Amino acid sequence: MGADTSIEWTVHSFNPWSGCQAVSPACDHCYAEAQAKRQPKTWGGWGPHAERKRTSESYWRQPLKWNSEARKAGTRPRVFCASMADVFDNAVPAEWRADLWALIAETPHLDWLLLTKRPQNIRPMMIAARRAVLRADVAEDHVTWPWPNVWLGTTVENQAEADRRIPHLLAVPAAKRFLSCEPLLGPVDLQACKAWRDCNIPEYGGPGHEFVSVLHGLDWIIAGGESGPHARPSHPDWFRSLRDQCQAARVPYFHKQNGEWVSVSEVEGAGPHHHFPDGATVRRVGKKAAGASLDGREWREVPESRAVGEERQG
């Protein structure tokens, strides 16, 4: 069963609907918004007042096919849900989200990756998810949360968003929790994130319990530079720092891409330069030439999936 998406860290990509709006600096050069503007009949409008567009019923049946194939093959393919939207977008009709929860419950052999820039909405919408599943009369093991086939993630492009979003993510139990640090627009020190101390997670001791690092509540870090015509440069040391933090905490690190820019010492040639305050210089060489190598190797670490019915152990 081959991948049907160019996104390196997933096997499938599924869009239950399309449409979104900018909420942080990571959204400034959104590829999904650009694609929607090129193909409005396919992807609908964009922005706070744009109508969200639901995909077809035949398209919604694709995950059922993937689930059947995975069951027969004994695999657990990852499905990135809503690359052209945000599952936890307030503008999406609640009925659509209820239909998505039912679909996820019907496909226990798929690991659904729900990535959001609105992690503050996860908890109330998960409560709604449980109610929707109860009404749908699906498998009993999907009535209680966390579901074994749902990975929850949030985008963290800089320290400000790390401090703001990670506590909301950690406040919700999940089979896996992950961060997408793409586009990485600044250094992120996960041990400097202080608000996590207020998280009420029984497996970590409840309110007021001080962890050594927020990485204790995370299962995966994905990082990458920005691509596209207006791509902003990332300092190579920002990637190295995340990688090293993951290595120290034994958390899988996936380096998706360097973006359009790379250190002048790594790729020869001409092109626009960017100088960082510490003296480091990167050159714009294009996404393909910049590649995904970090210090001479590619980092493609992925957490292990849990079998259907296996509970999270922390």
DSSP string, 258-271: -TTEEETTTS-S--
- Is cis: bond before 173, omega within 30 of 0? no
Instruction: Pull the structure tokens for residue 219.
Output: 């299962």
The answer to whether 129 and 87 are in contact (CB under 8 A) is no
Query: By three-state DSSP, how is residue 24 classified?
Result: coil
**Which percentage of the chain shows pLDDT scores above 70?**
85
- Asked if pLDDT for residue 170 goes beyond 60, the answer is yes
Q: Per-residue confidence at 311, pLDDT binned at 50, 70, 90?
A: very low
Maximum C-alpha span of the chain: 61
Instruction: Pull the structure tokens for residue 66.
Output: 């993937």
Average of per-residue pLDDT across 26-35: 88
The answer to whether 258 and 292 are in contact (CB under 8 A) is yes
Average of per-residue pLDDT across 118-147: 73
Q: How far apart are the first and last CA of the chain?
A: 30
The answer to whether 112 and 63 are in contact (CB under 8 A) is no
Whole-Å CA distances, 271 to 264, 266, 289: 10, 13, 12
Q: How far apart are CA 93 and CA 297, in angstroms?
A: 44
The answer to whether 214 and 193 are in contact (CB under 8 A) is yes
Tell me the one-letter amino acid at 165: R
Domains and CATH numbers, the chain: 12-298 (3.80.30)
Task: Tell me the whole-structure pTM to 2 decimals.
Answer: 0.89
- Asked if pLDDT for residue 135 goes beyond 90, the answer is no
pLDDT at 197: 44
pLDDT at 202: 47
Q: How far apart are CA 234 and CA 287, in angstroms?
A: 13
Q: How far apart are CA 62 and CA 56, in angstroms?
A: 11
Average of per-residue pLDDT across 254-282: 91
Average of per-residue pLDDT across 53-73: 97
Instruction: Pull the structure tokens for residue 105.
Output: 């419950």
Q: How far apart are CA 116 and CA 178, in angstroms?
A: 11
Characterize the bridge pairing of strands 281-284 and 297-298.
unpaired
